[in-house]
Structure 1
Amino acid sequence: MKKRKILFLGESYRADAITWMNGLKEFGDFEIIPWELKTPNDTFYNRLLRVVEFKLAIFKIKKLIKQQQPDIVIAERTTSYGFLAALSGVKPLVIAQQGRTDLWPEKSITIPLKRIIQAYAFKKATLIHAWGPVMTLSMTEAQVDMTKVLVLPKGIDLTKFENKNTANPDKISAIVSRSLLPEYRHDIILKSFSVLNKKGMDFELTIIGDGSQLPTLKNLAKKLGIDKKVVFTGRIPNTELPELLQKSNFYISMPITEGVSASLFEAMASNCYPIVTDIPGNRSWIKHRENGQLIKLDDYNMLAEELIWSFKNSDSRAKAVLANRKFIEENADYHTNMKIIANKYHELINTSTTK
């Protein structure tokens, strides 16, 4: 039988994208052809170059399609790669919304244009991924045909993120595994640990990843006098993450916007107690002081208080981490969910070829 080809439009180096592509190879026996924009989106000059590259991208994509003859195109982010995929004319077309909404930043002057681009992508898509229920709210507002929407997380590999936590129960061993970008508010986390430090509490804080805020955050940790207790690992291979999670008893994530966080699922699977911002994307999975903590946006004092409360209430934490592991096993198992997704793609291809 001929091996089916997928053209993947998106940032193939991202952990979420790697999970998606690997799952399709493993459970769907697909050949993946990745394509992404080459210019980084980090400086004003590069953003201008990226706009030019974006305008030329559709011609490059169509040339690649002619060469490779993919059976299906999949794309992440409705307002960029999803739009390019829609312009390609290939069917079936699968688009994944990445956040609660891809219309971001919410107060940007480009939002009206992005809304038009997104509507076009939604209309042309054969299937739309909502990795969690919070994503469906903006889709409904955009009057998407919800019969095309599949609500299902990619899941995480429970054979890698095992139920084997070895953290020292006598101190706070916290981990942060989000990109070091302004919207993830690492500065709020550092300020909260400064409060703990002033109270004489023992802790260690591991901050994983890289990003534009790294130098600023290192300077802040030093200024707050906690740099000896904070470890910045930089970017690490995803294979090293499970062991670091299993050495931590708290997972902290303070984003100002959230869709579905694979890193939260990884932490829940690894028996890390989750403390996250009180926003819709996190409320889908966390109930305050039941299976984690919900913190008001940018409130480092509340974060410090809830860390202390949860550390002292070890029985409550123990029940929560057991419940979280069970939830992940039942709802976010990569082996189960990616089989469903891969089978759905084959179904779309087969339906398309018989028309």
Structure 2
Amino acid sequence: MTFQSSEAIAGPGLEAASRATFPFSALIGQPVLQRALLLAAIDPGIGGVLISGPRGTAKSTAARALAALLPPTPAASAAPFVTLPLSASVEQLVGTLNVEDVLRDGRLRLAPGLVARAHGGVLYVDEVNLLPDALVDALLDVAASGVNTVERDGISQQHAARFVLVGTMNPEEGELRPQLLDRFGLSVALANASEAGQRTAIVRARLRFDEDPLGVAEAHADEQARLAAAVVAARAGLARLAWPDAVLQRAAERALAAGVDGMRADLVMLRAARALAAFEGRTEVTTDDVDAVAELALAHRREEGRSGPAPESKPDMRQAAPTPPGSAAASANSSPMGDWGALPPIPEATARVLPEGGWPAKKA
């Protein structure tokens, strides 16, 4: 009896199918998610996209599909898609320096980390809310700046690390701290499909892809090529677009109405609005662009319960009825530590507690 190798059994068709990615243009019912991912792909300086939602809402599928739209890097035929495992260390993420090589032959060598491998592609973090805070901090620093700094024993080295950061989380498993939420540029909250027709369309598309991934890829090849070309053109056109004063004013108004802290929301809104104008091939950024992307930048930064400008603080205009001196109410109001209407302390008699075992009574 003879056995064939696994390569012979698999054949070229199965190998090609295993490399097939669900087309970005074939996603159903996720226009807001698609817009956020495209904006982050056009301008990675936005700071990535945080996708929140229950299981099975195409979070990882959309992230992989985005990588297929990005232009290939000089070192590979396709843009890289790198997954950050929950068990990764900071050294595995940002890399380290081989100081031993300096001592041996005087040359400093960088052992690249995951951010270096993701340069030019997508760095995907599933369940980002379960990562240690130190790891998330380091990751968001590199994603926002596009530069990674590796330091060890007083020696440092920098390299480019420009990638699209996509983080996903299930709110049932815990939330991110507000400080880390603010570091993500855009956010999208997904929900389960609530209409039978939409669920049927999603399931049908997935079953068709599972049965014939190459056929589905070919059916969407033209639309995929159009999107990929639009991303490349938009990246090239970013530098030619400026923000008029009216656009800056609109971003400030939207940020104030949301009650956000700091200026990061304004900056993200402006960069996302510029990316949208570039993607649509326009020559100027408008206030409509700010309105179109505002919720993506504000949803995870908005102060809870805020939907408009913060109310102005006003003094308490309540007039309390005059109270006679020496009364209980007057004593409470005159006390700097007491609340309005509080009762004065009333002395209570105490009884000596007799010891019943345990530590012996202290001798006089």
Query: Counting strand residues as a fraction of each chain, which structure ranks higher?
Result: 1
TM-score by length of 2: 0.25
TM-score by length of 1: 0.25
Larger Rg: 2
